[in-house]
Amino acid sequence: MDTLDPTATGTSPAQLPQVQTPRNPGLALDLDWVRGAQANTSAIERRAATIGTRRSVKKDHQAAWLARAITLIDLTTLAGDDTEGRVRRLCAKAASPVRADLLAALGLEGLTTGAVCVYHDMVETAVDALRGTGIPVAAVSTGFPAGLSPFHLRVAEIGESVAAGAHEIDIVISRRHVLTGDWAALYDEMKTFREACGEAHVKAILATGELGTLRNVARASLVCMMAGADFIKTSTGKEPVNATLPVSLVMMRAIRDYHQRTGIRVGYKPAGGISKAKDALTYLALVKDELGDRWLRPDLFRFGASSLLGDIERQLEHHVSGHYSAAHRHAIG
């Protein structure tokens, strides 16, 4: 059985030097390229089913990969009952995601999550709580999660979040453009959102569980990248079906195709339903196989998750002590 090598790049995945890939400037809409994108569903599902069986990591290698996964998490709270206190506790967890004694035993220090993701109303609170940590704040926007508010208000919402200090904006596309094959409308929408973000990085949420087919997922991925998306993201986390391995495979291959044709790297973010450490390892194996080591950094890969961090911390404690602790000992907020 193959083994993921955490030292393939010469250093532990938890300690890779941080870099920032250039923004995706986008390009003109190429409808021939878009319409030529296909998806063989049965082959994709067979390939996805093998990911968890072909790759494995054990002991120190597993701990290293789990530590790396922490640095790739957008620690998220998107609840209607969010309060400033909850967001500040979440930010404190993002800055110190693993107990100091466990980090010392693992020989790691300075570990943080990739970002904190909140609704617009909590952006200023998160920015203040994270001041000095270097952790960016991401805001969901454009009428999240449905994306059905008036278009001018969706654009204005982006500007408000950027003005409040958000470094990253997670926008939701209009699913109807995909379902009706109106690729020009999707391109124009995404391009407008990208321009409204200014210097803030933009993640395009495709809501893949609502797009009908994997072919639609492939085509929507390409259109959003052509329009300047810095990341493409599976889901809002609010759909009945969120991130899955088949969808991830399709989106990663669209990213690979885009990079091979343009030389531009675009990031990937699976979100919703990824709550276990073993699932995180499976996704990292897929990223390594399909996109390569360069994508195993927070400027090109994120997990949209909240409970995932708690399970990873439990696994790291088991690695250090040989015992599993109760979940409440690793509270997120």
Catalytic residue among 191, 233, 288, 299: 233
Quote the Cα angle for 102-103-108, to 5°: 155
Distances (CA, A) of 222 to 3, 128, 201, 214: 31, 36, 17, 13
Give yes or no: 278 in active site. Answer: no
Residue 331 neighbours by CB distance under 10 Å: 10
Q: Choosing from 93, 191, 203, 269, which is the catalytic residue?
A: 269
Question: Does the annotation mark 203 as catalytic?
Answer: no
Taking only the tens place, the pLDDT of each residue in 60-119 is: 999 999 999 999 999 999 999 999 999 999 999 999 999 999 999 999 888 999 999 999
- Mean of per-residue pLDDT scores for the chain: 92
pLDDT category at 20 given cuts 50, 70, 90 is confident
Do residues 319 and 63 make contact, with C-beta atoms less than 8 angstroms apart? Answer: yes
Q: Give pLDDT, residue 108.
A: 87
pLDDT for position 1? 34
Q: Does the pLDDT value for residue 192 go beyond 60?
A: yes
Which structural domains are found in the chain, ordered by start?
24-330 (3.20.20.70)
Residues 6+ apart with CB under 8 A from 197: 158, 162, 169
Residue from 74, 170, 230, 299 carrying the catalytic annotation = 170
Q: Using one digit for the tens of pLDDT, what is the confidence trace for 265-300?
A: 999 999 998 999 999 999 999 999 999 999 999 999
Is the pLDDT at 306 greater than 90, yes or no?
A: no
Residue 93 is among the residues annotated as catalytic for this protein = no
